[in-house]
């Protein structure tokens, strides 16, 4: 007879395998039919499980979006950290990070276009932790210590700005058309260059802005 902890471990692995099977079926259907048009019956049929099994793992359709968002964030965070480690200065690290965000998102556009709109409707972009902003902020913090970033620049504020650049550009790029309206990579690179140099010919002291 197998020990209790071994049995529990096997049961947990089997549960995770089943959850993954249901999840992948749902994501495949979202890409093929659309998020709104996909039902729990559709997911159960493709996963070849009972409808109740789908509900055991995902009680609401929004939970598939959360799982998709969490998985994508973990993958992107890992890649951003890896890319930043390959560069030697702040500018190159940020350029690498923004480039890889553009490349991966472009490769996944059909699914991204469908799920991003549903993801936004759930309010997730407002509620979720801004992990990419923290990664950008860490890069800027180290760069500031090395004298590569201006003393008055707050790393976390700048990290939020870079995250906002990515998300804002992404929302415009997803749009409502089947074909991309512009190159995401080029648009991100242009916005990043603008962030590096600033927009005003003669910038007043930050304390005087808005007065």
pLDDT in tens, 51-85: 999 999 999 998 998 898 888 888 878 887 887 77
Residues 86 and 173 in one domain: yes
Residues 158 and 105 in one domain: yes
pLDDT in tens, 97-151: 888 889 888 888 888 888 888 888 877 777 778 888 998 999 999 999 999 999 9
Among 30, 57, 84, the domain boundary falls at 57
CATH code for the domain of 192: 1.10.357.10
Residues 156 and 140 in one domain: yes
pLDDT at 205: 57
Confidence of residue 211 (pLDDT cuts 50, 70, 90): very low
pLDDT at 118: 83
Question: What are the structure tokens assigned to 40, written together?
Answer: 């729990």
| Cα 121 from Cα 76, distance rounded (Å) | 22
| Cα 5 from Cα 90, distance rounded (Å) | 48
Residues 90 and 151 in one domain: yes
Residues 52 and 66 in one domain: no
Residues 110 and 156 in one domain: yes
Does residue 188 register a pLDDT over 90? yes
Does residue 204 register a pLDDT over 70? no
Does residue 210 register a pLDDT over 50? no
Residues 116 and 175 in one domain: yes
Residues 115 and 194 in one domain: yes
Higher per-residue confidence, 195 vs 199: 195
Residues 50 and 73 in one domain: no
Residues 193 and 115 in one domain: yes
Residues 116 and 169 in one domain: yes
CATH code for the domain of 11: 1.10.10
Residues 67 and 50 in one domain: no
Structural domain of residue 31, as residue ranges?
Answer: 4-57
pLDDT in tens, 142-184: 999 999 999 999 999 999 999 999 999 998 998 767 788 899 9
Number of structural domains (the chain) is: 2
Cα torsion 83, 84, 88, 92: sign: positive
| Mean pLDDT over the full length of the chain | 85
Q: Using an 8 Å Cβ cutoff, are 57 and 18 in contact?
A: yes
């Amino acid at each position: 007879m197998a020990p209790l902890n071994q049995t529990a471990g096997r049961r947990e692995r089997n549960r995770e395998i089943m959850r993954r099977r249901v999840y992948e079926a749902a994501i495949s259907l979202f890409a093929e039919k659309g998020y709104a048009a996909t039902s729990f019956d559709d997911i159960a049929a493709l996963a070849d499980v009972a409808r109740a099994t789908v509900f055991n793992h995902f009680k609401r359709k929004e939970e598939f979006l959360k799982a998709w968002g969490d998985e994508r964030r973990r993958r992107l965070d890992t890649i951003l950290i890896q890319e930043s480690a390959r560069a030697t200065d702040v500018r190159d690290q940020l350029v690498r990070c923004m480039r890889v965000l553009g490349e991966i998102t472009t490769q996944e556009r059909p699914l991204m276009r469908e799920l991003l709109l549903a993801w936004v409707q759930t309010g997730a972009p407002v509620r979720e932790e801004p992990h990419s902003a923290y990664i950008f902020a860490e890069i800027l913090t180290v760069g500031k210590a090395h004298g590569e970033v201006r003393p008055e620049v707050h790393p976390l504020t700048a990290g939020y700005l870079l995250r906002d650049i990515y998300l804002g550009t992404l929302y415009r790029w997803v749009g409502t058309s089947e074909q991309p309206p512009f190159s995401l990579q080029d648009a991100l690179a242009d916005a990043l260059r603008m962030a590096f140099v600033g927009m005003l010919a003669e910038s007043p002291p930050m304390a005087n802005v808005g007065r």
